[in-house]
């Protein structure tokens, strides 16, 4: 066997520039994926706008296409999905393996077509994300499910039945899957300990526009009354709150003044609260947020992650990077995923003084970081390395950036617009 060399893109960053200027937020991946899956429920085409150009979104569109759905891309970046042409209820492993969110087709397929065959998903290696919550919920709504040969094989006699479903632990994708299963079920479904994330609210708004009867989204009890049918509609995906919060954290680290348009500050108030404690000053409007950071180093800030509206696990790595160059000491405790500190040893290679004890990182702010070759291990960890590279002296190269591309649309172009010295190399 000869060696196979795969050419992988890297990011090359020369640190030390302040960030100044304006950028636009992209649409939220974690809202786009369930909304695309919801197209399966409609009797007429669903038009989805503000989709981010990301691998996961492309994968979801390919997955729907592989099931026979008719998909049209417009010049304006809208996608029209017509499920009336569906000819196959099988979500194949080749497409599902790269993305855990593929399981979001399970609820809609069962609800609309009384049958689904969905491969067990893959995705980031940041700890267990059990599918049993999804499977148990569908069973309690009357589905028969077997797990065999790596597939979830599900069917129901006629329509699913409304049920009371209590999640433990709380799960965003399981909440979304049950919402989509329940909209066409017979009777009323209540989800207790439901996820409260803004993306769940976005999905509820889209389903309601399609004709669903839903109440309580944004609280921990969601109620859905099944209807006979849903029609397509036009819907624009909410802005990506994690993307916006990541760029705001970058400014808190580098200094400068940045405005991010088409963003909703209310969806990440827990992050703004922590960034204000580092010394950053915010202004917000209906659809924009601006940050100004004038001091040389941010003040350190401790935090514990939790389900919304607590501090998001998707921002934990970025705050480890911030605290690594902050004035003072901080603790960062992760309560959602057990394997989400893989960025720590990479930031340590750049001079970060971080020790791990259980699910808590103890961080002593260093006066400076030094550029080094580092490797991205998952989506948010890779973002934290970009942030560290922006403040480090010298050059940082980040390998395996396909992780970044799963969740950040053209990250190097947006940062370049703000004055960062960053480029993609292969």
Token pair 């690594």 is found at: 324
Backbone angles phi, psi at 412, to 5 degrees: -70, -30
Give start and end residues of each alpha helix (H) in 127-197: 132-140, 172-182
CA-based end-to-end distance of the chain: 25
Token pair 């109620």 is found at: 223
Q: Are strands 46-49 and 79-82 parallel, antiparallel or unpaired?
A: antiparallel
Whether 422 and 397 have beta carbons less than 8 Å apart is answered as no
How far is residue 246's CA from residue 244's CA, in Å, rounded to a whole number? 5
How far is residue 130's CA from residue 121's CA, in Å, rounded to a whole number? 10
| Closest to 283 measured CA to CA, from 308, 262, 257 | 257
- 10 forms bridges with which residues in the sheet? 425
**Annotated active-site residue in 42, 83, 119, 124:** 124
Contacts of 339 (CB under 8 A, 6+ apart): 125, 126, 127
Q: Catalytic: 124?
A: yes
How far is residue 322's CA from residue 299's CA, in Å, rounded to a whole number? 9
| Closest to 420 measured CA to CA, from 381, 398, 389 | 389
Question: Cis (ω within 30 of 0) for the bond into 309?
Answer: yes
Supply the residues annotated as catalytic: 124
């Amino acid at each position: 066997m000869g060696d196979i060399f795969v050419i992988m893109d890297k990011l090359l960053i020369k640190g030390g520039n302040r960030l100044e200027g304006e950028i636009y937020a992209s649409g939220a991946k974690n809202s786009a994926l369930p909304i695309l899956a919801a197209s399966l429920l409609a009797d007429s085409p669903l038009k989805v706008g503000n989709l981010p150009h990301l691998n996961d979104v492309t994968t979801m569109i390919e997955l729907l296409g592989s099931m026979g759905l008719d998909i049209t891309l417009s010049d304006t970046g809208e996608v029209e999905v017509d499920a009336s042409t569906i000819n196959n209820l099988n979500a194949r492993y080749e497409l599902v393996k790269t993305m855990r969110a593929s399981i979001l087709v399970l609820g809609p397929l069962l609800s609309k077509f009384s049958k689904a065959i969905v491969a067990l998903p893959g995705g980031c290696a940041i700890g267990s994300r059990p599918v049993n919550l999804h499977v148990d919920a569908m069973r309690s709504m009357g589905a028969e499910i077997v797990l065999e040969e790596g597939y979830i094989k599900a069917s129901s006699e006629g329509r699913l039945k409304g049920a009371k479903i209590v999640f433990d632990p709380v799960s965003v994708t399981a909440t979304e899957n049950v919402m989509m299963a329940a909209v066409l079920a017979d009777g009323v479904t209540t989800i207790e300990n439901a996820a409260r994330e803004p993306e769940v609210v976005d999905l509820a708004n889209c389903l309601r526009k399609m004709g669903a009867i839903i109440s309580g989204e944004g609280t921990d009890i969601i109620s859905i009354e099944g209807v006979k049918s849903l029609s397509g509609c036009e819907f624009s995906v909410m802005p990506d709150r994690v993307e916006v919060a990541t760029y705001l954290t970058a400014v808190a680290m580098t200094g400068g003044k940045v405005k991010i348009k088409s963003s909703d500050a209310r969806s990440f108030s827990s992050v703004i609260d922590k960034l204000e404690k580092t010394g950053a000053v915010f202004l917000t409007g209906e659809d924009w947020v601006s940050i100004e950071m004038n001091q040389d180093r941010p003040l350190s800030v401790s935090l514990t992650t939790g389900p919304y509206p607590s501090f998001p696990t998707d921002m934990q790595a970025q705050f480890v990077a911030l605290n690594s160059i902050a004035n003072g000491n901080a603790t960062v405790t992760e309560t959602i995923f057990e394997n989400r500190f893989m960025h720590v040893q990479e930031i340590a290679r750049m001079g970060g003084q971080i020790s791990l004890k259980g699910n808590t990182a103890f961080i002593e702010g260093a006066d400076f970081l030094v550029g080094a070759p580092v490797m991205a291990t998952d989506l948010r960890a890779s973002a934290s390395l970009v942030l560290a590279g922006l403040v480090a002296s010298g050059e940082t190269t980040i390998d395996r950036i396909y992780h970044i591309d799963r969740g950040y649309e053209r990250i190097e172009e947006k940062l370049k617009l703000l004055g960062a010295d960053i480029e993609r190399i292969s």
